[in-house]
Chain A
Amino acid sequence: MTMLKKKITNKDGNLKSGQNELFTNPDADAAREFFRTKSRALKPKLSTVEEVVKNYLHDGDYIGIGGFGAIRIPTAILHEIIRQKKKHLGFAGHTSTHDFQILAAGECFDKCDIAYIVGLEARGLSPNSRRYIESGKVKITEWSNATLSWRIKAAAMGLSFLPARNLMGTDTFKYSASKEIICPFTGQKYMAHPALYPDFAAIHVHECDVYGNAHIYGASVSDQDLAKASRYVVLTTEKIIPTEKIRQNPEATSIPFWCVDAVVEIPYGSYPGNMPYEYFSDEEYLRKWLTIEKDPTEFKKFIDKQIFGTKNFFEYLELNGGMEKMKKLRAIELLYDQK
């Protein structure tokens, strides 16, 4: 067995590298220098969507978005990013679906790390997102869901890479920025995936206190690692809870306060996405969005009305059915018949 592995090592004496651009610096010491200066203070961090996007996100920054495309997404932050016309962002397209649609509508990013983009899973492909990527305006590097998860995990661990056993032998690897390495213990070939330290992350949670100690229920995707890996972290939350509730059940804390820079309370903040145990996704609205995207002129009018024409997330909710709609989506989520 050992001999066989040695043979393989010799055969591929020149280890391969992915040829595409690495958009972020994987250097762990550079990250430590930043984290050395990050506030550890247990202080109230309540803010507004407008302020956090203005203060923590700058043109050219690299961003990561929590949740899973149309599940537990920080919709209000995404809308505000395009309202404030942020440009030249780098974006982690990690299972991105509706979040990608919104940012693509504003042409906010021009660099994209791709695991999953331009689609909405079983709902179909997004015509506008495809037009944007097919235009060649966006620099792209290919990865996969596990690779982006592990790149974020490497950063969360304070490292510059993690070894793994995926991507090998494929074009996904060829157009990535990973590198083959040899395990110093076994001689086995691995992929070295570079750590991903985003400048900014926005994550929507079920509940948190004013300091940013947060509870996430349901699948957490990569959000605990994303909160640790990112330089600035903004939480939007369904509701603010007293710190006593965190302290009564400390093993349930998903994200601790020292990762978090700002907290914004936004009930129904994942709409039109699903919020596990609270409300289901608005499938009718997501279908409508996909249909309107087919016609660029109509889509521009739609975005003008939905995002630029609403002054904040609450107006956006009102425009799309308000509390009455939310009640319906709660019934779907909780599997009861609405009377």
Chain B
Amino acid sequence: MIKYNQIELMICVAARNLEDGATVVVGTGAPCAAAMLAQKTHSPNLCILFEAGGVAPNLPAMPISVGDSRTFHQAIMASSMPEIMETCQRGMIDYTFLGGAQVDMYGNINSTMIGPDHSKPLVRFPGSGGANDLASLCWRTMMMTIQDAKRFTNDIDFITSPGYLQGGNSRYEAGLPRGTGPYRIITNMAIMGFDDTTKRMKVLSVNPGYTRKDVQNNCGFELIWADSIAETHEPDEDELRILRGKVDPDRYIIGR
């Protein structure tokens, strides 16, 4: 039995979703670790981009900011924010990762504020940053997060970044590019996708050590379930060796 923690599992699962030759815009932290892990395992030609302008760097260390020197170290390009966002808008970016304080059953994400009055927030968060843009314009959006019933809620205080909005065809009807939207929600308990028609969050597999009941009890809305629910593949020895030895040797991310 291999021992690993929740963050390591989520990073390994996320990395497996990034196929060789794809493009991905990442932020700092776990998403960057997932992209680096994919690159050092099955996707050597994964093209990693950062919203401040870095294109395909040889990352020498984990960046602290999506604009710091590491994000364009020995890169193909040190470009600009409009350049990266316009590349997303043109349909050239396959994946992105987002985080947030709340997510609802259609994958809409709040990273702006908590409270009923926008002009006087009870708790203020950074806001969209690039999240709304990436969620609108990249083909597939993924989220890695610890799951609990407060975070997974339909009483979302503010939709910062679009998921499938009100479900069904509403995302496309709002004017967002056809064929884009949330793809995977990777939590410490389960892996979710979205129903093709209703666009509701749908459990695809349950992580080792958790039950269906755990997954539903730690979610504030009713989840739907795939016809057959597999157990999520554990991280294997190679993934863990590379993640711990080469991606995050100082345990900035996986030590949290």
Complex contact B121–A134 (CB within 8 A): yes
Query: Of A97, A119, A175, A277, which one neighbours B125 at CB under 8 angstroms?
Result: A119
Indicate the size class of the contact surface on chain B: 35 or more
Complex contact B175–A217 (CB within 8 A): no
Complex contact A171–B160 (CB within 8 A): yes
Q: Could you say which residues of chain B place their CB within 8 Å of the CB of A333?
A: 69
Complex contact B64–A144 (CB within 8 A): no
Complex contact A335–B174 (CB within 8 A): no
Complex contact A149–B125 (CB within 8 A): no
Complex contact B177–A283 (CB within 8 A): no
Nearest CB in chain B to that of A120: its residue: B65
User: In the complex, A139→B120 CA distance in Å?
Assistant: 9
Interface string of B98-138 (1 = CB under 8 A from A): 00000000001000100000111111111111111100110
Interface string of B168-200 (1 = CB under 8 A from A): 001111111100000000000000000000000
Complex contact A281–B85 (CB within 8 A): no
Nearest CB in chain B to that of A19: its residue: B118
Complex contact B129–A115 (CB within 8 A): yes
Complex contact B64–A95 (CB within 8 A): no
User: In the complex, A67→B215 CA distance in Å?
Assistant: 42
Q: Could you say which residues of chain A place their CB within 8 Å of the CB of B67?
A: 67-69, 71, 95, 219, 221
Nearest CB in chain B to that of A96: its residue: B126
B43 beta carbon closer than 8 Å to chain A: no
User: In the complex, A140→B158 CA distance in Å?
Assistant: 15
Per the 8 Å Cβ criterion, residues 121-162 of A in contact with B are 121-123, 125, 130, 133-136, 139-140, 142-147, 149-150, 153
Complex contact A167–B136 (CB within 8 A): yes
Complex contact A274–B127 (CB within 8 A): no
Complex contact A11–B173 (CB within 8 A): yes
Query: Of A70, A171, A221, which one neighbours B53 at CB under 8 angstroms?
Result: A221
Per the 8 Å Cβ criterion, residues 24-69 of B in contact with A are 27-29, 50-54, 60, 63-69
Segment of B6-14, B73-81, B221-229 in the binding face: B73-81
Query: Of B68, B120, B124, B173, which one neighbours A130 at CB under 8 angstroms?
Result: B124
Q: Could you say which residues of chain B place their CB within 8 Å of the CB of A140?
A: 118-119
Query: Of B66, B85, B162, which one neighbours A149 at CB under 8 angstroms?
Result: B85
Nearest CB in chain A to that of B164: its residue: A169
CB distance from B91 to the nearest CB of A (A): 10
User: In the complex, A166→B160 CA distance in Å?
Assistant: 11
User: In the complex, A119→B121 CA distance in Å?
Assistant: 15
**Chain A CB within 10 Å, residue with most, of B72, B89, B161, B174:** B174
**Chain B CB within 10 Å, residue with most, of A139, A149, A166, A335:** A166
A199 beta carbon closer than 8 Å to chain B: no
Q: Could you say which residues of chain B place their CB within 8 Å of the CB of A188?
A: 175
**Chain A CB within 10 Å, residue with most, of B132, B161, B165:** B132
Complex contact A283–B159 (CB within 8 A): no
Complex contact A220–B65 (CB within 8 A): no
Per the 8 Å Cβ criterion, residues 94-121 of A in contact with B are 95, 97, 114-119, 121
Q: Could you say which residues of chain B place their CB within 8 Å of the CB of A135?
A: 120
Complex contact A134–B133 (CB within 8 A): no
A189 beta carbon closer than 8 Å to chain B: yes
User: In the complex, A204→B130 CA distance in Å?
Assistant: 22
User: In the complex, A165→B178 CA distance in Å?
Assistant: 11
CB distance from A259 to the nearest CB of B (A): 16
List 9 interface pairs A-B (beta carbons < 8 Å), by A numbering: A11-B173, A71-B69, A170-B161, A188-B175, A217-B78, A219-B54, A274-B68, A276-B72, A280-B68
Chain B residues within 8 Å of A, Cβ to Cβ: 27-29, 50-54, 60, 63-69, 71-72, 78-82, 85, 88-89, 108, 112, 118-133, 136-137, 158-162, 165, 170-177
Given known contacts A190-B175, A219-B72, what 17 new A-B pairs fall within 8 Å (CB)? Answer: A93-B127, A114-B127, A121-B28, A122-B64, A130-B124, A134-B121, A144-B128, A145-B128, A147-B133, A169-B176, A170-B161, A171-B160, A172-B132, A175-B118, A220-B53, A220-B80, A276-B72
